[in-house]
Structure 1
Amino acid sequence: MNWDQIEGNWKQVKGNVKEQWGKLTDDDLDVIAGKRDQLAGKIQEAYGVTKDDADKQLSDWQKTQKDTDRYSRDMDD
């Protein structure tokens, strides 16, 4: 799933974000509204990691969303 899809489906995706980064509040996620840079910044703040670490975590997580998206499409067939 590319980031435009994540942003467009933010209401559905933010539950997955909350599972991955449980320290982020619902208010944080509402303010982020799918913006990757804002999410990376909140991950940095909440977990005390570098920008590079936050970006890597997001990239890794995004790959799992792609797999989930592919799985759900396969189920629809």
Structure 2
Amino acid sequence: MNWDIAKGKWNEIKGSARERWGELTDDELDEAQGEREQLVGKVQQKYGKTKAEAEREVDDFIASL
């Protein structure tokens, strides 16, 4: 799946994202609104990852859907 599709289906994908990153709140996922950079930033902040690590995780997550 690419990011254009993910953004359009964000409400459906949020549940999977919540399972993947359990520390992210529903409000934080709502704030991301399917935007890659927003989600990368949230993952980076919550999990203390580097930007490259967070980008790789987020990209792998979307590719797996």
TM range (shorter): over 0.9
Cα offset, 1:39, TM superposition: 0.3
The count of residues paired between Structure 1 and Structure 2 equals: 65
Moved segments of 4+, more than 4 Å: none
Q: Specify the alignment match of 2:24 in structure 1.
A: 24
The root-mean-square deviation of aligned C-alpha atoms, in Å, is 0.6
Identify unmatched segments of 5+ residues in structure 2: none
Matches within 5 A, 1:49-60: 49-60=49-60
Cα offset, 1:55, TM superposition: 0.5
Aligned-residue sequence identity (percent) comes to: 46
The TM-score with structure 2 as length reference comes to 0.96
The TM-score with structure 1 as length reference comes to 0.82
Cα offset, 1:60, TM superposition: 1.2
Q: Which protein shows a greater Rg?
A: 1
